[in-house]
Structure 1
Amino acid sequence: MLHLRAIVPREKSGAVRRLLEAEPGVTHLVVWPGVAVSPPGDVIACDIARESANLVLDDLRALGIDEDGSIALENLDVSLSRSAREAESDAPGEGADAVVWEQITEATSEESTFTVTFLAFLTIATMIAACGVLLDNPILIVGAMVVGPEFGPLAGLCVATVQRRRGLAARSAFALLAGFPIAMSLTMAFTWLLTWSGDFDKSMLEGDRPQTSFIYQPDWLSFWVAFLAGVAGILSLTSSKSGALIGVLISVTTVPAAANAAVAVAYGDLSQAGGSLGQLGLNLGAIVVAGTGTLLAQRYAWSRTHGKHHPGVPGLRRD
C-alpha cells in the first residue's frame, strides 16, 4: 500500500473527494477542511493500492492539484486493516507488477545526478576494482561491484527514454560521461602511486589472471549477461524489491572494466585498455537497451489493464 497526502484548493476539494471515493483501490480516506496554510486549502489523505496509484495520480494532475496544491506519496511498510486488504483485492492487477511512474522517476532523478558523493563512490569502486584485477582477486571485484553507484544513471536513462524526459536523460548521461572518465583518471594516478610504492607492478597486469581475464575480453556472452542484469535491475526498481544483489549483477562488467582500462592505460597496455573499454561500452549499452525494453513492456501491460475512464470523474482520461 501507498499513503497519499494532498493539499487541495477549497474549490477543487469536492472533485478530489469524489475521485478518490470512486476508485476501488483507495481506502482510509480522510479530509481536513481548511487546515493547510501554505498553500492554503484542504488536506486530503488516503491509502492506495499500488496498482491504483497511477490512475489516481493522473487524475489529480488532470485537476491541476500538482500546480495549485501539492501531492505527496510514500510507501506504507505495514497496514493492518480489513479495508486495506479489500482495496488491494478490488484494485485490478497485482501490486508487485504495478509500476508507479512518478515514484520511479523521482527515485532515478535523485540517483542519476552527478554529485560529489556519486563521484566519490564511483572512484572508490574503481580503485577497489583496480586492486582486484591486478591481484586477480574476485573478492575485491565483488566489493567494487557493491560500492559502484552507476545503476542510478543507467536506470535514469531508461526511465527518461520511456517517459520522454529530456532533463533526466541529460543528467543521467552527464553522470556517466563525466563520472567514468574522472574516476578512471584518478584510478590511473592511484595505480602510479602504488607502483611507486612497490605495491603494484606492470607484470601483475600482463601475467596470467584466470579469475578476471573476462573483464577485458568482450563477447556475446558478456552482452547477454548484462542484458539479463538490466532486465532484473529494472524489475527490482519498479517492484520496490531489494536491489542489493541486483546492484552486484549490474556492476559486474562496468566498474571492473573501467578499472582495468585505467590500469592498462597507466602501464601503456593499449590493447588491453581497448578490450576493457569495449567491455564497458558493450555492457552499458546492453543494460540501457534491456532496461528500456522492460519499462516499455511494463507500460504496455499497464495500459492494457488500466486504460479506462474513471467512473466517478467524467472527462478525466486514462492514457
Structure 2
Amino acid sequence: MRHIQVTIPIGKRETILDLLDDEGIDYVVTDESSSREYDAVVSFPVPTNAVEPVLDSLQDAGVDEESYTVVVDAETVISRKFEQLQNEHATESVEEEQISRQELLTRADELTPTFSVFFVMTLISAVVATVGLLLDSPAVVVGSMVIAPLIGPALSASIGTVTNDREVFLTGMKYQFTGVFGGIIAAAVFAWIFQALFLVPPGAEITELDEVAERIAPELLLLPVALGAGAAGILSLATGFSIAIVGVMIAAALVPPMAAAGVALAYGLPVAALGSTVLVLVNLLGVNLAGLLTLRYLGYRPGSWFEISTAQRQFFKQVAVLVGVIFLLSLFLTGVTYSSYQMSAFEQTTDEQAEDVLNDHEDLILLGTEVEVREEGLPFDASFDATGQIDLVIVEIGGPPGSYDPEIVAAIDERINQETTGDTDVQVRFVTTGGAEDTPATAPGADDDT
C-alpha cells in the first residue's frame, strides 16, 4: 500500500476532492499558506496497484508535474473505508502487487548510478571475473556478478520504451553497450598483464579450463537464460521482489562471457573471442527483449493519451529490431550447438568403432578416447564441418604386456578416418594393465604408456 501527498493548485480544490470522493478514497486536507500557487495539501492511502490510475486521474483534473506529489510506502493503514477500497482493487494476478508507472521510473533511476560509478564498477567486475576464469574458480566468478551494477541500465531501456521516455531509453542503452565493450577491453588488458607477469603458468591451455571453455563455445541453450533474466528483472522491479537476487542473474548472463571474450583476445584466440562476444550481445539483447515484452504484458503505458500511439510504434519497432538481430546472432549459436552435437556424436562413434575392433580380443579393453580439435573456420559458415576440424584422436587400450598388434592399430585408424572429412592423425596407445611392468611395443609415431 502507498501513502500519497498532493499539493492542490488554487481553484482545483473542489474538483480534486470530488474526484477522491468518487473513488471512495479516505483523505485528509490541510490548508496551504506557504505559497500563493497552491490552496491545500491532501493526503490519502491507496492500494499499490491503484497508485497509477489515481495519479493519472489527478493529472487530468489539473495536478500537473509542477505540483508537489509524494508517494511513500505505508506499512499499515487502519481504516474501514481503506479496506473497502483495497477489496475493490484486489485481484488474483500480479497486478495486485504491481507498482505505478511513476514508481517504476523512479526505481529504475535509483538502480542506475552515475555513469562514472557504473563504468568503474563494471570494469572491476570484469577484472574479478577474469581472475575467476583464469583460476577456474566458480566462487570468484559468482563474486564478480554480485558487484556488477547492470540491472538498472538493462531494465531502464525497456522502461523508457514503453513509457515513451526517450531520455531513460537512451541512458539505458548507452550504459549497457559502453559497459559491455569496456568490460571486454578491461578483461583483455588485465589478462595480458597477468600473462606477462607470469601470474598464469606459461603455456597454460585456457581452453581446457571449465569456466572458460563453456563460454568461448556458447550454445543456443544459453539464450533462455537471458530471456528469463530480463523477464524476472521486470517482474521483481514491478512487484517489489528482491531485485538484488535478479540483478545477479542478469550479471550472470553478461559478466562471465564478457570476461571470457577479453581472455580469448589476450591469448590470441580470435574465434573464441568472437564466440564469447556473440554470447554477450545475444544475452544483452535478450534481456532487453524479455523486459519489453514483460512490461507490455503488465500493461505499462505512457501517462498521456497522445503519447500512447507513439510508444506503441516505438515498441513494435524495437521488438522487431531486437528479434531480427537476435535471430542473426543466434545463427552463430546454432552453429556452435550443431558443432558440439557433431563432436559428441563423433566421440561416441569413435568409442563404438574401437570397441568393435577389440571385440575379437578378449584380453584387450578400451580405456578411453580423446579428441583434439584445431581452431579454424567459423561455426556459422555453411561449409563448416566439425569433424573436419579434428586434429588428433587418441585411443587408449589396456592389456597384458606384449599386446601390441599393428593390425589393431591399422583397423582403428581406418575406421576413425572413415568418420572424418579429412586425413585425421590417430594415435593408439597400449597401456599395460594388471600390474605388469613390461613395456609393450607401439606403432611408429604412436605413444605408449605403461
Task: Point out the structure with max Rg over C-alpha.
Answer: 2
Q: TM-score, normalised by structure 1?
A: 0.85
**Count of residues in correspondence between the two structures:** 299
Comparing 82-91 and 282-291, the one that deviates more: 82-91
Q: Which amino acid aligns with 1:48?
A: V
How far 1:241 sits from its partner (Å)?
A: 1.1
Once the two structures are superposed, residues 286-311 of structure 1 have per-residue CA deviations (whole angstroms, 9 ceiling, x without a partner) of 111111111111108x9xxxxxxxxx
How far 1:36 sits from its partner (Å)?
A: 4.4
Once the two structures are superposed, residues 47-84 of structure 1 have per-residue CA deviations (whole angstroms, 9 ceiling, x without a partner) of 110121111111122233234422121222x1151434
In 2, Cα distance between equivalents of 1:114 and 1:217: 34
Alignment correspondent of 2:55: 57
Q: 2:76 aligns with which of 74, 79, 95?
A: 79
1:215 and 1:253 in contact (8 A); partners too: no
Map 1:140-219 to 2 at 5 A.
Answer: 140-201=140-201, 203-204=203-204, 206-219=206-219
Distance 1:197 1:268, change over 3 A: same
2:155 and 2:234 in contact (8 A); partners too: yes
Q: Which amino acid aligns with 2:59?
A: R
2:216 and 2:272 in contact (8 A); partners too: yes
Structure with greater helix share of residues:
1
How far 1:20 sits from its partner (Å)?
A: 1.9
1:8 counterpart SS class? strand
Q: Which amino acid aligns with 1:79?
A: T
Map 1:1-319 to 2 at 5 A.
Answer: 1-24=1-24, 26-27=25-26, 29-37=27-35, 40-76=38-74, 78-83=75-80, 84-93=82-91, 96-112=96-112, 115-201=115-201, 203-204=203-204, 206-299=206-299
Once the two structures are superposed, residues 230-275 of structure 1 have per-residue CA deviations (whole angstroms, 9 ceiling, x without a partner) of 1111110100111122112111120111111112212222111111
In 1, Cα distance between equivalents of 2:243 and 2:126: 20
1:113 and 1:172 in contact (8 A); partners too: no
2:12 and 2:62 in contact (8 A); partners too: no
1:226 and 1:287 in contact (8 A); partners too: yes
How far 1:101 sits from its partner (Å)?
A: 0.9
Distance 1:144 1:117, change over 3 A: same
Q: Which amino acid aligns with 1:51?
A: N
Report which structure shows greater RCO (CA 8 Å, sep ≥6).
1
1:233 and 1:291 in contact (8 A); partners too: yes
1:11 counterpart SS class? coil
Q: TM-score, normalised by structure 2?
A: 0.62
2:153 and 2:176 in contact (8 A); partners too: yes
Q: Which amino acid aligns with 2:52?
A: N
Distance 1:262 1:64, change over 3 A: farther
How far 1:192 sits from its partner (Å)?
A: 3.0
Q: Which amino acid aligns with 2:78?
A: S
In 1, Cα distance between equivalents of 2:37 and 2:147: 41
Q: Output the aligned Cα RMSD.
A: 2.4
In 1, Cα distance between equivalents of 2:76 and 2:123: 41
Comparing 3-12 and 204-213, the one that deviates more: 204-213
How far 1:276 sits from its partner (Å)?
A: 0.7
**Structure 1 runs not aligned, ≥5 long:** 303-319
In 1, Cα distance between equivalents of 2:198 and 2:109: 42
2:190 counterpart SS class? helix
In 2, Cα distance between equivalents of 1:215 and 1:23: 55
1:268 counterpart SS class? coil
1:282 counterpart SS class? helix
In 1, Cα distance between equivalents of 2:159 and 2:120: 24
**Structure 2 runs not aligned, ≥5 long:** 302-450
In 2, Cα distance between equivalents of 1:37 and 1:110: 30
Distance 1:229 1:202, change over 3 A: farther
Q: Which amino acid aligns with 2:288?
A: V
Q: Which amino acid aligns with 1:81?
A: I
